[in-house]
Amino acid sequence: MADETKLNAFMEKMLGDLGGAFSVALVRIGDRLGLYRALRDHGPLTIEGLAEATAIAPRYAREWLSQQAASGYLAYHPADRTFELPPEQAMVFAEPDSPVYLQGAFDLAAAMVENQAPVEAAFRSGGGVGWGDQAQCLFCAVGRFFRPAYHNQLLSSWLPSLDGVTARLEGGAKVADIGCGHGFSTIMMAKAYPASHFSGFDFHEGSIEQACRHAAEHGVVGNTEFAVAGADDFPGRDYELVTFFDCLHDMGDPVGAAAHVRQALRPDGTWMVVEPQAGDRLQDNLGPIGRMSYAGSTMVCVPTSLAQPVGLALGAQAGFGRLREVIGAGGFGRVRKAAETPFNMVIEAKP
Ligand SMILES: C[S@@+](CC[C@H](N)C(=O)[O-])C[C@H]1O[C@@H](n2cnc3c(N)ncnc32)[C@H](O)[C@@H]1O
């Protein structure tokens, strides 16, 4: 028989979960229509004030503001009927460079819902869903989701955690960024190390086109190029650094990719592999981050890998032990965790 106290506690949790799920579209509307930005820039606003500042209909402003206040995303001040975006919430909703900016996660949530039909069919067939066949908003969502971590950690702590790598980048090194997607990581490194040369490769043509546009916008075309290529056949040799940002586990044949990196690197080169943070055992990953990561893995990472030859499907929560095996099988003798955050681990692999 159900225990009423436990049931009530579980219902409370479920109401919170569903409140979050129901909020996805509203948060994205707030982002697209500049509602969070207006609240950040103007300070507390009434319904009419927000409607006027953002040119939206007051009736919708009222309902949206009420839902956001009920969510704890905005503070409501009954005395003057204003709504405020507190500084902590502004970091999450309105400041793209903040380390806790989460708009990309809401975009990912929408992409996962859009992906339901093909992934549901794949559950039955056991097949994959190709990266290019995923929901179209996924590609931008992924870039946007990962960018805050790269912006805040890549140059300041992840690259310096690798043995001797920043000195080589300053002196002028040859670098390949594999599975580069829209090229955020490539462009950040290229801007910081103008003496080095960066080649971004990804097997998804649409992402490479977008990466080229980003590079032009950021003025890094002189030391950067992008091209369509797979992880197991990208061109070039004698790289001093090869980087994989959040993509090794998406690949069908990560061991083949590791072997290809091994022969493309100089003997004294470094392979940097950034992967989602995860423990080695399922029971280590049963918290809020594991929950989100397993969802993304089910809807995106595993189907992507299963759509490729070999289809190893490591999953986004493979853990360091399993990743070390895969990297080692590609011919890397020295593999260590160089840095970690609550969301990511940075692995350094050397031949
Ligand atoms: C989760 S996204 C990460 C993108 C980018 N590195 C970032 O951090 O924003 C995974 C990327 O891996 C790419 N990818 C997956 N399998 C690949 C393969 N076998 N060869 C090259 N790229 C691959 C996808 O096209 C996608 O851009």
Kindly list the domain boundaries of the chain, sorted by start residue.
4-93, 103-350
Substitution site in 177, 186, 247 for ligand 1 pocket (most atoms within 8 Å of beta carbon): 247
Measured by CA distance, the residue closest to atom 8 of ligand 1 is 245
pLDDT value, residue 314 = 98
pLDDT value, residue 137 = 81
Q: CB neighbours of 185 closer than 8 A, spacing ≥ 6? A: 146, 150, 154, 177, 243, 245
C-alpha to C-alpha distance for 94 and 88, rounded to whole angstroms? 10
Query: Residue 274 CA: which ligand 1 atom is closest?
Result: 8
For 4-93, which CATH class? mainly alpha
Ligand 1 pocket residue status of 202, Cβ below 6 Å: yes
- The CA-based angle 112-212-148, given to 5 degrees, is 50
**Does domain 103-350 fall into CATH 3.40.50.150?**
yes
pLDDT in tens, the chain (351 residues): 999 999 999 999 999 999 999 999 999 999 999 999 999 999 999 999 999 999 999 999 999 999 999 999 999 999 999 999 999 999 999 999 999 999 999 999 999 999 999 999 999 999 999 999 988 789 889 999 999 999 999 999 999 999 999 999 999 999 999 999 999 999 999 999 999 999 999 999 999 999 999 999 999 889 999 999 999 999 999 999 999 999 999 999 999 999 999 999 999 999 999 999 999 999 999 999 999 999 999 999 999 999 999 999 999 999 999 999 999 999 999 999 999 999 999 999 999
Query: Residue 229 CA: which ligand 1 atom is closest?
Result: 21
Query: Residue 253 CA: which ligand 1 atom is closest?
Result: 19
Measured by CA distance, the residue closest to atom 10 of ligand 1 is 247
pLDDT value, residue 237 = 96
pLDDT value, residue 47 = 98
Comparing 4-93 with 103-350, is the CATH topology the same?
no
Q: Say how many Å lie between the CA of residue 253 and the centre of ligand 1.
A: 13
Query: Are residues 183 and 213 in contact, defined by beta-carbon separation less than 8 angstroms?
Result: no
Measured by CA distance, the residue closest to atom 4 of ligand 1 is 181
The DSSP code sequence of 99-145 is TT--HHHHHHHHHHHHTHHHHHHHHHH-----GGGS-THHHHHHHHH
pTM: 0.96
